[in-house]
Chain A
């Protein structure tokens, strides 16, 4: 009998896992004992970190797109379709595109994050973002026209993709306006929902002095409640109003509704054991990347490391052995501190981050990684 592994989601986690399994289970797949299907609702794989550079004219959205068919091993069945129902009792998925269903023996959910600007009245009309292709290109056009006034960067809620990206944006914007001789005419204000500039206290302690040095204004304990696009103001639940001329936000994030409907967790995030990545509410279901509610950052490196753990565990289970691989919370991030410098952090569940001194070498390392990312997606790096 053929054991069927279905991976839902062709982002970093799903794609790395598919290629990991193609390599790890090569004999079993060749013998027809195991079949692996990767389901994604878009024929392309998207590398979202490229979007940070689009508003500053340093990258194009197409730099972050490649057909999944070029990235995924031929041993994997690639299905471009949208899952419309997850039944963990009968271990079956329904698809909307083909009106068909499929049985699985093991299911891995790697469905990522979605943006929910509608949660904040006025945000969709009044705010720009660089968390989508269309948002990043619209912001690029706006930034090119923006030569003076108040730029507000507001982080609306956590978790969100790439917790470092809001810091990176204001540091890069500060540099970008300085290089163009406009910084004295542009005020930059950064807002964050808790009482420091980043959720992780160690990164907050590191970032706050840089913001002070650069003259970036900070509003903490600022949870956006509404945006008035006409008056160009953003108002917080805490009663603070900020005027803006250009509002850039990190919109509220959620997972996909199917996960909550399947009883796997709230807000589209799957409740998992943070070490084994197994779903708590169902058998034979794993989640990884943004989808897994582990408390670690929603970052590509997390999805990458978690994919390796899930790959090892699935291979063990399919071979009738107890799975032993566990995820230790490992996270690795470059943090741009301007247009020509970056820092770097590495941490896990037990060890806190200690950001490296910003340098040009780390900036080039980040750019080099971005270029070599496609090797990661293929499972080679």
Chain B
């Protein structure tokens, strides 16, 4: 478990692909540089979608917490 304190959380649990990634991108759009966004997703596709997009967009995936029935992704906006 990470102890990173996010600036905002996007709860996309229950959303079908590409919903979680699009919710994350939407939040990153309005975030400030350096903000950390936590994405909660129970969609397995997010395990590949989120790292691919954060790398492509130049943001940093700080941590992924694998919890019981969902994952928490911590993304820092570049």
Taking Cβ atoms with an 8 Å cutoff, the residues of A that contact B are: 119, 157-159, 193-195, 199-201, 221, 223, 225, 237-239, 267, 274, 295-296
- Can you offer 25 A-B residue contacts whose CB atoms are under 8 A? A119-B29, A157-B22, A157-B25, A157-B26, A159-B22, A193-B18, A193-B21, A193-B25, A194-B22, A195-B49, A195-B53, A199-B17, A200-B17, A201-B45, A221-B53, A223-B57, A237-B25, A237-B29, A238-B53, A238-B56, A238-B57, A239-B57, A239-B58, A267-B26, A295-B16
Interface residues on B, range: 10 to 19
Given contacts A195-B49, A199-B17, A295-B15, contact A158 B57 (CB under 8 A): no
The verdict on B28 contacting chain A, using a C-beta distance below 8 Å, is yes
Taking Cβ atoms with an 8 Å cutoff, the residues of B that contact A are: 14-19, 21-22, 25-26, 28-29, 45, 49, 52-53, 56-58
Cα distance, A238 to B21, chains bound together (Å): 14
Cα distance, A119 to B26, chains bound together (Å): 10
Cα distance, A201 to B56, chains bound together (Å): 20
Are A237 and B14 in contact, with the CB atoms below 8 A? no
User: A193 — which chain B residues lie within 8 A by C-beta?
Assistant: 18, 21-22, 25
Cα distance, A296 to B15, chains bound together (Å): 9
Which residue of A201, A237, A295 contacts B19 across the interface (Cβ within 8 Å)? Answer: A295
Question: Which secondary structure dominates where chain A touches chain B?
Answer: loop
User: B58 — which chain A residues lie within 8 A by C-beta?
Assistant: 238-239
Question: Which secondary structure dominates where chain B touches chain A?
Answer: helix
User: A221 — which chain B residues lie within 8 A by C-beta?
Assistant: 52-53, 56-57
Cα distance, A195 to B52, chains bound together (Å): 8
* Interchain nearest-CB distance for A379 vs B (Å): 29
Least CB separation from B43: chain A residue? A295
Cα distance, A158 to B26, chains bound together (Å): 9
Cα distance, A181 to B59, chains bound together (Å): 44
Are B28 and A237 in contact, with the CB atoms below 8 A? yes
Are A194 and B18 in contact, with the CB atoms below 8 A? yes
Are A158 and B56 in contact, with the CB atoms below 8 A? no
Least CB separation from A271: chain B residue? B14
Cα distance, A196 to B25, chains bound together (Å): 16
Cα distance, A223 to B27, chains bound together (Å): 13
Closest 8 CB pairs of A and B: A295-B16, A194-B18, A199-B18, A238-B57, A238-B56, A221-B56, A158-B22, A237-B57
